[in-house]
Structure 1
Amino acid sequence: MSTTLHRYAALGAALLIGVAGLSACGANDAQSGDDGDSASGGGGKTIALLLPESKTTRYEAFDRPLFEAKVKELCEDCDDVLYYNADQDETKQSQQVETAISEGASVIVLDPVNGAGAGGMVQSAQDAGAQVIAYDRLIKEADYYMSFDNETVGKMQAEALVEAMGDQGGILMLNGSPDDPNAAQFKEGAHSVLDDSGVEILEEYDNPDWSPENAQEFVTDQLSKYDASDIKGVYAANDGQAGGVVAALTGGGFEPDALPPITGQDAELAAIQRIIAGEQSMTIYKPIPVEAEKAAEVAVALVNGDEVGETTDFQGVPSFIFDPIVVTKDNVADTVVADEFYSVDDICAGEYAKACAAADIS
């Protein structure tokens, strides 16, 4: 794993401050990796990176800078990476693909807002002679695909929840966006465990844009329908939603140290801190450098006309599939800290110092 990752983690807050500015960019405005100017016209080898939204903190704080840095390291004669964020707007992303094509991108790394509806964008790129790497979310028409084993993610989350609950009681289930093919895979994996357990799903919700605010509102509504004692656990498909769940439960009368088990995904810093503090039971750590840097390696190979290496077949698409990792309070030090994803100082800042000391994280 790259030893430079801690530098990106330390810069995460600063990068996130820039999200609002990036979100304000027009649909046809690209951001370069270095200075924000248009990235075309350099060495003639142009790669574009298109990410789906900025509410999930990983994209701006990790995926983008890691990808750009790796491209720069591997390809001295490549132009700066053309970068676009769709802000969860499928139409905007389609326009961004067309802009990337017009800017001369011969390789497009695309994390789609709606994977099932992204075939037209891929076809436009391919018709223009570009190759498309589906990044993190499957696009069946893409030339290549890379992601983590998403069904396994859902299974891991559900297994951890069932174990923490003692295989009994009622839960709330918050899934991701129905337009996100990954969300469907997480959901399928989770149901494969939950449906055969002693757990009862009280209510289930597919969150249209993975929004923490929607998650908080949904759980708040359920607290008016169910007694707090009925809710023995919460399946939250990602850490953003888990944060909304915690806000709703603590706002609805739960004490922070008496919350039911709550799952998550993405190993966001706030989630790791909640885990240390006992407010969230687990998250799924998907080592983003593995995915972002591999995407950069494949993109550079393609732009140079080289072989990309051995792939596996995933639903008919040549793919690179990576393994997720469960993170709990017991292995924070051995996972996200050991990999320099976050430092102890990042995690144990301020009010979390005491919880870190109690968890022997130093």
Structure 2
Amino acid sequence: MRRNLLALVTVGMLTMSGLAACTDDDGDGTKVPVRGGDGTGKVGVIMPDTTSSQRWGSDDPRLLKAAFDAAGVPVDIQNAQGDPANFQRIGDRMIAEGATVLITANLDPASGKYVLDKAKAAGVRTIDYDRLTLNAGANFYVSFDNVKVGELQGQGLVRCLSEQKRKAGEGPPRIAYLNGSLSDNNARLFMQGYNSVLQPKYDDGSYLKGPDQSVDKWDPKLGRSIFLEMYDQFKDQGIDGVLAANDGLGGAAISVLRERGLNGRVPVTGQDAETQGLQNVLAGDQCMTVYKPIKKEADAAARLAIAIFKGQQVKTTESVKDPESAAYVPAVLLEPIAIFKEDVGKVIKDGFVSKKAVCAGRFAALCEENGIK
């Protein structure tokens, strides 16, 4: 990954100039005229599902629409609802209806590549949003530093385990893993990050590596079933920590632990700073989450799309390497933030979630205890 610190300091560190006569190479030397650039057409946005994270069904669509509406740029935002065939159909329709730029958060590699290939053939510029579509050659990629996300998760679990006072003779803590879907390149990057933190602990005997499974489509129900099997498999030895790749999977593990009276005693990680994840952190059932300021991500993607829509040449100050094609994709990468109990108020203050939602019911007292007023 080629990094430039300036791009992390200022989101959207972009240079822009005229784009009037641009063409794309389709890979065999044929020049394909680039559609748009004159302020006509529209921007198409395809979200993956509404189940793996609350962001896809509400947060990102709302923030992206606000950015495009403010710029007076027409936008069509759709959600594939977890169906790869529907993802492809939406892409086909948007291209047929004159989209000049497509922003896609891919559902899986095959359907994502299908849409990007069709877009490229039609001269439509593409922006991979949050997830890199492998071997598809998007024009741009906007996301967070996903290896860093994993590092924060690993470091968070280490911190939470270190704060526990294990009894003499208990031995090293055993860690279970609920990884994200292997069809999502981000899940591999998260693993790269947290393994870089935890593997040395296994190597020196400080920790024991327990069961390790990936959860297809980030499905919390499947995650619960997997963790239930893990717990039963290791009920004699015990599971002492859970590296859960997002809040949904963390919540799945917590539900199993709660049924056994172990919630709050076994540290569980997360990601996305969802309302329920933050409530679990406040309650002490989840040791931490990772906050990714999605507004910054949405604004950066919108700025790129708007510039392309208006016919401006756009360059970023960094790039990421596609592990399958080995090609570098121009990128804007943002910094994630670790959130522990004392940090929940920062997420609320940032406007990412509301105090009303997080501090509802029994969580009101917990919010007050942690300075959220």
TM-score range, shorter chain: 0.7 to 0.9
What code does the residue aligned with 1:345 have?
Answer: K
Q: Any idea what SS the aligned residue of 2:217 has?
A: coil
Report if aligned partners of 2:241, 2:268 keep a CA contact under 8 Å in 1: yes
Aligned match of 1:25 = none
Aligned match of 1:64 = 61
Alpha-carbon shift at residue 234 of structure 1 (Å):
0.4
Cα shift readout 1:319-340 (whole Å, capped 9, x = no counterpart): 000000000111122x202212
Out of 82, 95, 116, the residue aligned to residue 89 of structure 2 is: 95
Out of 215, 235, 239, the residue aligned to residue 223 of structure 2 is: 215
Report if aligned partners of 1:219, 1:248 keep a CA contact under 8 Å in 2: yes
Cα shift readout 1:51-72 (whole Å, capped 9, x = no counterpart): 1111110112210010011001
Aligned match of 2:311 = 305
- Bigger mean CA deviation after superposition, 213-222 or 336-345: 336-345
Mapping of 1:258-297 within 5 angstroms?
258-297=264-303
Alpha-carbon shift at residue 357 of structure 1 (Å):
2.3
Aligned match of 1:82 = 76
Report if aligned partners of 2:44, 2:102 keep a CA contact under 8 Å in 1: yes
What code does the residue aligned with 2:150 have?
Answer: G
Aligned match of 2:247 = 239
Aligned match of 1:173 = 177
Which has the higher Rg, Structure 1 or Structure 2?
Answer: 2
Q: Any idea what SS the aligned residue of 2:240 has?
A: strand
Report if aligned partners of 2:231, 2:238 keep a CA contact under 8 Å in 1: no
Aligned match of 2:365 = 354
Q: Any idea what SS the aligned residue of 1:151 has?
A: helix
Aligned match of 1:182 = 186
Q: 2:199 matched to 1:195?
A: yes
> Partners of 1:311 and 1:327 in 2: how far apart?
28
Alpha-carbon shift at residue 356 of structure 1 (Å):
1.7
Report if aligned partners of 1:115, 1:137 keep a CA contact under 8 Å in 2: no
Cα shift readout 1:218-254 (whole Å, capped 9, x = no counterpart): 1111222222772111000000111111111112x12
Alpha-carbon shift at residue 87 of structure 1 (Å):
2.1
- Bigger mean CA deviation after superposition, 117-126 or 237-246: 117-126
Q: 2:118 matched to 1:112?
A: no
Alpha-carbon shift at residue 313 of structure 1 (Å):
1.5
> Partners of 1:115 and 1:234 in 2: how far apart?
27
Q: Alignment identity in percent?
A: 32
> Partners of 2:301 and 2:236 in 1: how far apart?
44
Aligned match of 2:324 = none
Cα shift readout 1:92-124 (whole Å, capped 9, x = no counterpart): 212221111011101000111124763332121
Residue 289 and residue 71 in structure 1: after superposition, are their counterparts in 2 closer, same or farther (change >3 A)? Answer: same
Report if aligned partners of 1:171, 1:199 keep a CA contact under 8 Å in 2: yes
Instruction: State the superposition RMSD in angstroms.
Output: 1.7
Tell me the number of residue pairs that the alignment of Structure 1 and Structure 2 aligns. Answer: 314
Q: Any idea what SS the aligned residue of 1:231 has?
A: coil
Report if aligned partners of 1:217, 1:248 keep a CA contact under 8 Å in 2: no
Aligned match of 1:23 = none
Alpha-carbon shift at residue 162 of structure 1 (Å):
1.6
Q: Any idea what SS the aligned residue of 2:266 has?
A: coil
> Partners of 1:145 and 1:228 in 2: how far apart?
46
Mapping of 1:33-72 within 5 angstroms?
44-55=40-51, 56-72=53-69
Aligned match of 1:254 = 261
Out of 131, 147, 153, the residue aligned to residue 151 of structure 1 is: 147
Cα shift readout 1:39-60 (whole Å, capped 9, x = no counterpart): xxxx833100001111110112
> Partners of 2:281 and 2:236 in 1: how far apart?
21
Alpha-carbon shift at residue 347 of structure 1 (Å):
1.6
> Partners of 1:93 and 1:164 in 2: how far apart?
39
Q: 2:213 matched to 1:205?
A: yes
Q: Any idea what SS the aligned residue of 1:106 has?
A: strand
- Bigger mean CA deviation after superposition, 297-306 or 109-118: 109-118
Gaps of 5+ in 2: 1-38, 164-171, 322-327
> Partners of 1:145 and 1:250 in 2: how far apart?
39
Gaps of 5+ in 1: 1-42
- Bigger mean CA deviation after superposition, 163-172 or 199-208: 163-172
